[in-house]
Amino acid sequence: MLRDKVRIAVLVSGGGTNLQALIDAQKSGIIKSGQIVAVISSNKDAYALERAKNAGIPTTVVARKTHHGKEDFEADLIRAIDSAGAEVIVLAGFMCILSAKFTKKYENRILNVHPSLIPSFCGEGFYGLRVHEAALAYGVKVTGATVHLVNEIPDGGKIIMQKAVEISEDDTPETLQKKVMREAEWIILPRSVELICEKIKEEEK
Domains annotated for the chain, with CATH where assigned, are 6-204 (3.40.50.170)
| Stretch among 73-77, 151-155, 177-181 having the lowest mean pLDDT | 151-155
Terminal CA-to-CA distance of the chain, rounded, Å?
Answer: 8
Instruction: Specify the pTM.
Output: 0.94
What's the confidence (pLDDT) of residue 36? Answer: 97
Distance (Å, rounded) from C-alpha 143 to C-alpha 189?
Answer: 16
For the chain, the average pLDDT equals 94
| Stretch among 89-103, 132-146, 177-191 having the lowest mean pLDDT | 89-103
Helix axes 129-138, 173-180, angle to 10 degrees: 110
Query: Mean pLDDT across the stretch 33-52?
Result: 96
What's the confidence (pLDDT) of residue 1? Answer: 38
Percent of the chain with pLDDT over 70: 99
Cα 126 → chain centroid: 15
162 Rama class: left (phi>0) / alpha (psi -120 to 50) / beta: beta
pLDDT(102) > 50: yes
Active site residue ranges: 114
Distance (Å, rounded) from C-alpha 20 to C-alpha 189?
Answer: 11
